[in-house]
């Protein structure tokens, strides 16, 4: 059961990230475009800010973590319902739900910290740029 759940979650992560990080078609047009991309001439310059690369990556990871946490809460609820009164299974189900909620809280705090750091590096932000 655990192997099946991890396989499904791995497939979902791969499918989701491949949609966001698909290579740009202009970099695949020819050898010259590939050389220009390697030199950095065709690279995106918007790394920070609301539409930057770092914001996109953190949004995708937060979505993935949220989806996994919801799935784990549902699994914990199902384990709680089918426990049949066994105190060990009830404790395990409650721990699953608790750890999923703690994971959501940690993900939200990490998201806030990353956004704080990104906003300090963004041009025109109120933070100091070194």
Rounded CA separation 27/43 (Å): 9
Rounded CA separation 42/98 (Å): 46
**pLDDT digit string, tens, across residues 45-102:** 666 666 677 778 888 888 888 889 999 999 999 999 999 889 999 999 999 999 999 9
pLDDT at position 55: 75
With beta carbons less than 8 A apart as the criterion, state whether 118 and 48 touch: yes
Give the mean model confidence (pLDDT) for residues 27-35: 61
Q: Which is more confident, 101 or 28?
A: 101
Q: Which is more confident, 70 or 26?
A: 70
Q: Which of 69, 49, 55 is nearest to 120 (CA)?
A: 49
């Amino acid at each position: 059961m655990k192997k099946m759940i991890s396989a499904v979650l791995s497939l979902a992560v791969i499918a989701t990230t491949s949609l966001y990080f698909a290579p740009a078609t202009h970099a695949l047009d020819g050898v010259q475009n590939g050389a220009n991309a390697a030199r950095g001439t065709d690279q995106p310059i918007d790394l920070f800010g609301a539409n930057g690369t770092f914001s996109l990556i953190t949004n995708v990871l937060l979505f993935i973590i949220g989806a996994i946490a919801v799935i784990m809460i549902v699994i914990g609820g199902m384990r709680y319902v089918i426990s049949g009164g066994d105190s060990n299974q009830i404790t395990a189900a409650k721990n699953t739900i608790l750890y999923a909620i703690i994971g959501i809280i940690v993900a939200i705090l990490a998201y806030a910290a990353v956004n704080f750091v990104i906003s300090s590096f963004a041009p025109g932000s109120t933070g100091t740029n070194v």
